[in-house]
Amino acid sequence: SSWRAAKYFVAAENIALQTQEESLHARTTDSTAPQHALQKLSVFNTKVGDFLRSTHDGRECAMECVSTAPLVFVIDDLIDEKECEHIVTRAGKLLEKSFVMGGEYQVSDTGSSEPLADTAPAAEEAADPALYRSSYNAWLSQDGVLNQLQQRLAVVLGLRAAYLKTKSEELQVVKYGPGGQFKVHQDSSAFNSRLVTALLYLNTVNEDSLEAAEGENAVCAAVQGGETWFPYATTAEDGNKDNGLSTPISVEGAIEAALRIYEAHEGTKDAATDSSICLPGLKIVPKRGRAVVFFNHLSSGAIDPGAVHAGLPVKVKESESDESKTTKKAVEKWVANYWVELDVDLLS
């Protein structure tokens, strides 16, 4: 059952954490090794607003730094429309309920903070806001399209293609229906160390929210639905916290503090329409072809509490029909994740 799986995961996480601590202790003769290896990957040393450009197979990719702590980059048009459609088509035949395990709030099949039956909301119905994670996902093995995408990503990150091929998990594709969300979480853990997340948006959730976010008030724009939220992001060019939260010293503390704000915001009646109601930090709007690349670990090799993030609920869009009656249109959000494993020895 999902409860037993969660129980065994927590036990494995504790064992992995102990092993990790012993490994770090054994490296005291060369305490800078993890830092040097990570610096080879994150040699960017950029500030907010900087662009890092690369070219692969004639396609130019411009990677913009949007936060320095955690280190977050946005790449528009990393993948094209045909590639997005290819991924969605393959995944659509394999979708299963999403789950997340590990941590006080992440122990059930559907990702709820409370024990639930092994059911998920139907795709056409609004998801229960009590669910910690409400979505469907599929894992895709490599094919010609994904090989090209992986090679392109290696060039963008400045990694050897062989490393990315060896140390990347299979592509995870996620579908969110109306109300679908993934509350505050960290992608990495002692049991499953993920150095880098490459989050790919496979569709544009809301054209209106895209236009609003590209305006002057992008950081504090009203939540329109489906954004990726980094509550502790340092978005100011001078490296100050700007409007982000102060980062707690632990992942658990970071999740707990951000979760209080997240749930208070979602419980506000006008959260999606009142621009004065603003989540702190950084919100990135889903746009087809856009990628968000962020680092889950600090240069020391430790998991970064500031890299916790959330997928905000997908809002039901209201529109005017021919009869001038307000109707509600169900929307979907499709994303994909490549996770690159932390392997200090291989990066060295």
Better-predicted residue by pLDDT, 345 or 144: 144
Question: Is residue 109 in some structural domain?
Answer: no
Residue type, 164: L
Nearest-angstrom CA–CA distance, 254 and 322? 47
Q: Once rounded to an integer, what is the mean pLDDT over residues 156-169?
A: 88
Looking at residue 248, what is its pLDDT?
83
Identify the CATH number of the domain in which residue 173 sits: 2.60.120.620
**Hey, what amino acid is at 192?**
N
* Residue 95 counted as domain residue: yes
Residues of the domain holding 89? 2-16+33-102+140-316+331-346
Q: Within a domain: residue 266?
A: yes
pLDDT for position 230: 96
Confidence of residue 122 (pLDDT cuts 50, 70, 90): very low
Q: What is the pLDDT of residue 42?
A: 56
In a domain, 163, yes or no: yes
In this structure, are residues 235 and 67 in contact, taking their beta carbons and an 8 Å threshold?
A: yes
Q: Considering the domain boundaries, does residue 224 fall inside one?
A: yes
Q: What is the mean pLDDT of the chain?
A: 76
How far apart (Å, rounded) are the C-alpha atoms in residues 347 and 195? 11
Look at residue 135 and tell me if it is in a domain.
Answer: no
Number of domains in the chain: 1
d(CA 332, CA 328): 13
CA 241/CA 253 separation, integer angstroms: 18
How would you write the chain as a 3-class SS string? CHHHHHHHHHHHHHHHHHHHHHHHHHHHHHCCHHHHHHHHHCCCCCCCCCEEEEEECCEEEEEEEEEECCEEEEECCCCCHHHHHHHHHHHHCCCEECCCCCCCCCCCCCCCCCCCCCCCCCCCCCCCCCCCECCEEEEECCCHHHHHHHHHHHHHHCCCHHHHHHHECCEEEEEECCCCCEEEECCCCCCCCEEEEEEEECCCCCHHHHHHHCCCCCCCCCCCCCCEEECCCCCCCCCCCCCCCCCCCCHHHHHHHHHHHHHHHHCCCCCCCCCCCCCCCEEECCCCCCEEEEECECCCCCECHHHCEEECCCCCEEEECCCCCEEEECCCEEEEEEEEECCHHHHC
Specify if 123 maps to a domain: no
pLDDT band for 192, please (50, 70, 90 cuts).
Answer: confident
Per-residue pLDDT tens for 241-262?
Answer: 656 678 888 999 999 999 999 8
Residue 169 lies in a domain: yes
